[in-house]
Structure formats: structure tokens, C-alpha cells
Amino acid sequence: MIDNFVFWPSIPAPDILVMWLSTVVAYVIFGIAGFGTALVASPMLAFFMPVSKIVPLLALLDFSAAVTKITKDRNKANVAELKRLVPLMIVGSIVGAGILFFTKPDILLLLLGAFVVCYSIYSLSGYKPAGRLGPKSSIPFGLVGGVFSALFGSGGFLYAIYLAGRIEAKEQIAVTQSTLIGLSTLTRLVLFLVAGIYTDRSLLLIAAILAPAMLIGIFIGRHITLRLSKAQFIRVVNVLVLLSGIFLLIRYFSSN
């Protein structure tokens, strides 16, 4: 494990390989669903680096991935929904960042594991909200999504639930989702930059090492969507994420 987040020569090659492969898998998911990188990557990265460093790291990678996805289809985003969600998302992100900065790392590990397990169970349940959501539902989804984004690097599943209950066209949902993720990560980038998080050169080095893995993952994800339904693939991934979350909780309780 990278206890103090040291430079490249001191990082074991097997650790880097596992982190790299985990990042590829995470961004395959992003290439298909438009979110979910933290849910896949965080449980594995947490075994090799401090939990408090994972969210700033994935913020850098997620922003680049989101920009890559929305470059061609940005004009298809639902502007009305963005206007509702973005201000609330920013407020939630500020609250979440404050919690992140002042919470003990071991508690973050517990929260991360619980979050991953709960989300996986929800996804595997196949539950779908009945009817269309009203505009006022943007308040809880935007605020809580922002908090989760800052804490765990992923509020995307909350935005996806909201958008699915508000927008009919699947293509418009996907583009709006990716736009929200891009704006969410931009908000986090600014907050972390102001807080001095990115003065850590080791963090930037790890981001540079994992960037090619992110690009490869997105490339693979786009091609998989042509051969496999998103519902089938996401279900398999959620099983893997659930197992990762369980192992993370086992790790927390075994060390306390």
C-alpha cells in the first residue's frame, strides 16, 4: 500500500499494474454508462493509496473523460435540467468537500464501503421509479448528488435516476448525464485546487500514469456498447462492485 503517496521509483510495480487495470475497467463502465468510475475504481485504489487522495485523483481523470465524451454531442444536452441541477450540485459539493477535509480516513473507508454496497444492491434490485419526477425533485437529487460527488467521486447514479424520471429520449439522457459529470468534476477540481490538494506532485504523477488507462477504457467501452446491451453489462459490473464493497468493509472491520 502507498502510505505516504511517494514518487514513482518507490511504488511497487505490481501495485501500479493493479491500479492501472482497475482504472481501465472503471472507464470502460464510464464509456458505456457515463458514470460509475469511482464505484469501480475506488474500492481497488483504496488498497494501494490513501482514501483521501482517491477523489481528487478521479476528479482529474473524470473531467478529462467527460470532456472526451461530450465534445461531439454537447448540443443535445437538456439545458433546462442542467439549470435546475447545477447550482444545487455546487452547493452539495461544497458541503461534501468540507466533510471530506475534516473526516478521519478510516471513517471514509467505512463510508465508502457502505456506499458501494448500498448502490450495488439498489442497482441489482432492478427498481425503477414509477411515473415522471417533478421539477422540485431536483432539489434532493442535486444536493445529495453533489455531496456524494465530493465525498466519493460519484453522484452520477443519483443524477441518472433523476434524469431517467424526467427525460424520455435515451440519447438526451446520456449527453445530459455526461455534461453533469463534467461540470461536477470541474467544481471539485476548483475546490481541490483552492484547498491546495493539487500541489502534491505525487498525486499529479499518479494521474499522468493512469491517464492512458482512462483513454483505453473509454475506447473499449464505446465498442462494447455496439455488441452488448448496457443493461446486461452494468448488471455484471454491479455484482463485481458489490463484492469489492464487501471486501472493503471486511478490511475496515478487521483493522479495528
This model's pTM is above 0.85: no
Which own/partner pairs from 54-58 qualify as long-range (CB within 8 Å, at least 24 positions apart)? 54/153, 55/100, 55/150, 55/151, 55/152, 55/153, 55/188, 56/188, 56/192, 56/197, 56/198, 56/203, 57/203, 57/206, 57/207, 57/210, 58/153
Nine-digit cell at 236? 455484471
Among 108-112, 172-176, 207-211, the range with the most confident prediction by mean pLDDT is 207-211
Q: Determine what percent of the chain is predicted with pLDDT higher than 70.
A: 84
d(CA 155, CA 2): 26
Encode pLDDT of 56-100 as tens digits: 898 899 899 888 877 766 677 888 999 999 999 989 888 887 887
Sorting pLDDT into bands at 50, 70 and 90, what band is 2?
Answer: very low
Dihedral Cα 163, 111, 241, 30, nearest 10 deg: 40
pLDDT in tens, 52-65: 788 889 889 989 98
Instruction: For the chain, give the mean pLDDT.
Output: 80
Range of lowest pLDDT (94-98, 107-111, 150-154, 244-248)? 150-154
